[in-house]
Structure 1
Amino acid sequence: MRYFMQYLKTENVNLVKDMGMIPYKLHELYGYESTVVTFKNGEYDYLNTEVKGLKMEFVKKIFHSYTLDGALYLLINSKRIDMLQIFHVTLSSFVYVFTYKKTNPNGKIYLKLDSSFKLPERLDRLSKIGHKFLKSMLDKVNLITIEEERLYDPILKRIPYIKDKFKIIPNGVDFKAICKMGLHYDYDAKENIILHAARIGAEEKNTPMLLEAFKNIKDIEKSDWKLVLAGPIEEEFKDYIDKYFAENPLMKNKVEMLGNIKSRKELYSLYCRAKIFALTSDFESFAIALIEAAAFGDIIISTDVGIASELVDENNGALVNCGDTEALTRTFENYMNKDLKEMSEKTHNKCRQKFDWDSIIKHLNEYMVDLK
């Protein structure tokens, strides 16, 4: 099958996320001729290392428009595409669907919603004419998936006509790639580290909540626990960091800011070492960092965003309300004083059973085969 994933914002890092991993795994496991279609957004080093065999085609920036340039590409190329994968319910996806089906009426379309609770809210705000246009688009789509179980019913309630082609397909972790890196889960090798991996200081990540909660832990300066933050630091957040350490000098030995980590093996090695992974975001769609951390048995302590609730539903982690710094401090104190081995093993096993890319793609391929 000639499988094309069109997302014009694709960067190198996206090749090891769902944008790249779905077409790559379909190629690796089932022999699909998989191609990523995008604007050229930098270099793509992972093509030669992490996703060998995956092809890329670059869309010309004639109109400098995701919608128009993407549609022009499909107008020219649709007849050589058996399955087109697109993302989100947007103007671009609407135009892509009609352009592709007009040019290749027998072709198949896979729409990955890649959404959050905001999608049901958006559907509620749609006018009657908006719903009519939406239905005309979705009627032409052959397969629609959502990543989180808790979003399935709210979405289906609002657009019930998609029921027969609406499935749950989460994002995953490539356990085979982890093995090739020479890494593996080992609780006994873990250290007393609370890890946070994100864009440090980005508004939606609410980094201040994490930093404040950690410094408020009782007698934290006397403990051997550390807070490690990995990720690019927003320029406007650097003044906050300087002030934080100036007002809390004891935290200089307790909080490590590692900056951006480009090596996937280096980041995964941090997951290996950490006992707890903390996420304090006010909003996430899926939050792939949560399942990456869970793959290495990190106890998840997170705001209730993305996939977090599905990872901690066996009393193997905790959720706190967005912005509730005091609750986060109490939760840290509670877990730092526990034997975490059993919970860690439970988290690792859950991730392996539910979020292994190979198993996920097996189900996705079965759905696609049924479309023929």
Structure 2
Amino acid sequence: MKRFLTIFPIATNVHLIKDVGMIPYILHKELNYESTLLCYKNDDYYYLEKEVKGLKIEYLKKIFHNQLFDVLFFLLFNRREYDVLQVYQLSRINLILCFFVKICSFNKRKTYLKLDADDQVLNYLPSKITKYLLRKIDVVSVENQTYFAYLNLTMQLGRKIDYVPNGFYDDGVQKPLNFNKKENKILTVGRIGTKQKATEILCKAFKKFSIYNQDWRLEIIGPIENEFKPFITNYFKQNPDLRDRVTFTGPINNRKVLENYYATAKVFALTSRYEGFPLVLTEAAKFGCFIISTDLPAVKDLIDDNHYGKVFPIDDDNYLVDLFKEISNNPHLLEKLSPEFQSFAYEHFYWPEICKTIDKLVWRK
């Protein structure tokens, strides 16, 4: 049995399930790996047995109260217990950890760096030492085709990069899509009110759209930033007619409840000013939601050149209004595309298939 270690010291409840925990979990469940997540004890992780059964967790001791030294100390005594080391994001710490494992194992252990990149990777200029350390890593992957093509064309990181997208999972049971259960709802999920998510753009656009269309509703799911709460208060004060059409649910941690929101929405909207590869998009694709998003590289891959969605310029709420009008005026198009999109998503963004690719990349010769 192959042994896989994911190092993410700051893993929290959200990170563990939605982000860093999915690859080791799927490798365990579908490909017979023994998978472990190494992190500080940042949560009780009470949901582990239910949500990611079989994924082990090792708590990192704060011996030095320094992330790099704490992890190095752990690896010094446990490096032989694992065959593959995985880290997230390009950082000095992660480069050192991967190099340490390769040197101490005489290149017998495999290392995998998932860049988890956003636009900053395009402007990143690594030093000669960084390039050297990157070349010592077995697999370095990026999540979208735009970055993949650019990084390999320019050789900016001093090595070839592999394409490994993010995905979704369904516990091995694909739920049939029933478009008749979908309602005239626009859904968004994320950290509400952050500068990154630009939730105010979505709210302003829906306000303008609501004048032309009385049938659609907006559902906004996720923890709400305190700084954004006055905006919500003023929004409803100025638009009392929208109180029954715009819903702020707050965070929804129950996965089945959250999935029902996706299953009953026709459109998923993302107004982010910047992103890497947001997993909420793959969840929306899983349920055949038409995607309307800012023009981000990961979105282009997912909606297959605007076939299963539309993009608009960042911060352009008027353009977004026009897209809402266009889609609401084409109900038959949404009904046609919804099952097609789900099939496309399962073919290209399904975690078990993605993890098969990871397995092949890690053990290639």
CA distance, structure 1, for counterparts of residue 173 and residue 187 of structure 2 = 19
Partner of 1:154: 150
Q: Decide whether the 8 Å contact of 1:218 with 1:333 is kept in 2.
A: no
Report deviation, 1:29: 1.8
Number of aligned residue pairs: 359
Deviation readout 1:222-245 (Å, 9 max, x if unpaired) = 612100001111111111110111
CA distance, structure 1, for counterparts of residue 156 and residue 211 of structure 2 = 52
- Write out aligned runs for 1:128-277 (5 A): 130=127, 132-156=128-152, 157-159=154-156, 161-163=158-160, 166-176=161-171, 179=174, 183-217=175-209, 219-220=211-212, 223-277=214-268
- Write out aligned runs for 1:49-60 (5 A): 49-60=50-61
Report deviation, 1:138: 1.1
Q: Secondary structure of the residue that 1:109 maps to in structure 2?
A: strand
Q: Secondary structure of the residue that 2:273 maps to in structure 1?
A: coil
Question: Do residues 97 (structure 1) and 91 (structure 2) align?
Answer: no
* Alpha-carbon distance change, 160 to 48 in structure 1, aligned in 2, over 3 angstroms: closer
Q: Decide whether the 8 Å contact of 2:273 with 2:294 is kept in 1.
A: yes
Q: Decide whether the 8 Å contact of 1:6 with 1:36 is kept in 2.
A: yes
* Counterpart among 319, 327, 349 of residue 327 in structure 1: 319
* Alpha-carbon distance change, 300 to 178 in structure 1, aligned in 2, over 3 angstroms: farther
Q: Decide whether the 8 Å contact of 2:236 with 2:243 is kept in 1.
A: yes
Q: Secondary structure of the residue that 2:21 maps to in structure 1?
A: helix
Q: Decide whether the 8 Å contact of 1:12 with 1:45 is kept in 2.
A: no
* Counterpart among 101, 118, 121 of residue 119 in structure 1: 121
* Alpha-carbon distance change, 178 to 332 in structure 1, aligned in 2, over 3 angstroms: farther
Q: Decide whether the 8 Å contact of 1:212 with 1:325 is kept in 2.
A: yes
Deviates more, 1:253-262 or 1:95-104: 95-104
* Alpha-carbon distance change, 235 to 358 in structure 1, aligned in 2, over 3 angstroms: same
Q: Which amino acid aligns with 1:190?
A: K
Deviation readout 1:47-106 (Å, 9 max, x if unpaired) = 201211111101111233222222222222212221101111112112212322232222
Q: Decide whether the 8 Å contact of 1:317 with 1:343 is kept in 2.
A: no
Question: Do residues 370 (structure 1) and 361 (structure 2) align?
Answer: no
Q: Which amino acid aligns with 1:170?
A: P
Q: Decide whether the 8 Å contact of 2:144 with 2:165 is kept in 1.
A: yes
* Alpha-carbon distance change, 303 to 36 in structure 1, aligned in 2, over 3 angstroms: same
* Counterpart among 334, 340, 347 of residue 346 in structure 1: 340
Q: Which amino acid aligns with 1:121?
A: N
Q: TM-score of the superposition, structure 1-length normalised?
A: 0.92
Report deviation, 1:346: 2.5
CA distance, structure 1, for counterparts of residue 360 and residue 171 of structure 2 = 21
Q: Which amino acid aligns with 1:110?
A: Y
The alignment-based identity, stated in percent, is: 36
Q: Decide whether the 8 Å contact of 1:5 with 1:36 is kept in 2.
A: yes
Report deviation, 1:177: 5.2
Report deviation, 1:178: 5.9
Q: Secondary structure of the residue that 1:275 maps to in structure 2?
A: strand
Q: Secondary structure of the residue that 1:176 maps to in structure 2?
A: coil
Report deviation, 1:315: 2.4
Deviates more, 1:64-73 or 1:87-96: 64-73
Unmatched 5+ residue regions in structure 2?
Answer: none
* Alpha-carbon distance change, 351 to 53 in structure 1, aligned in 2, over 3 angstroms: same
Question: Do residues 84 (structure 1) and 85 (structure 2) align?
Answer: yes
Report deviation, 1:314: 4.7
Q: Decide whether the 8 Å contact of 1:15 with 1:51 is kept in 2.
A: no
CA distance, structure 2, for counterparts of residue 185 and residue 8 of structure 1 = 38
Deviation readout 1:194-226 (Å, 9 max, x if unpaired) = 001111101110011000000001535x61210
CA distance, structure 2, for counterparts of residue 21 and residue 277 of structure 1 = 22
Q: Decide whether the 8 Å contact of 1:67 with 1:91 is kept in 2.
A: no
Q: Decide whether the 8 Å contact of 1:112 with 1:144 is kept in 2.
A: yes
CA distance, structure 2, for counterparts of residue 342 and residue 201 of structure 1 = 33
Q: Secondary structure of the residue that 1:318 maps to in structure 2?
A: strand
* Counterpart among 297, 302, 315 of residue 288 in structure 2: 297
Partner of 1:33: 34
* Alpha-carbon distance change, 160 to 281 in structure 1, aligned in 2, over 3 angstroms: closer
Q: TM-score of the superposition, structure 2-length normalised?
A: 0.94
CA distance, structure 2, for counterparts of residue 319 and residue 345 of structure 1 = 20
Q: Secondary structure of the residue that 1:43 maps to in structure 2?
A: coil
Quote the RMSD (CA, aligned, Å): 1.7
Q: Secondary structure of the residue that 1:242 maps to in structure 2?
A: helix
CA distance, structure 2, for counterparts of residue 138 and residue 56 of structure 1 = 27
Deviation readout 1:28-59 (Å, 9 max, x if unpaired) = 12211111111111021332012111111011
CA distance, structure 1, for counterparts of residue 167 and residue 147 of structure 2 = 17
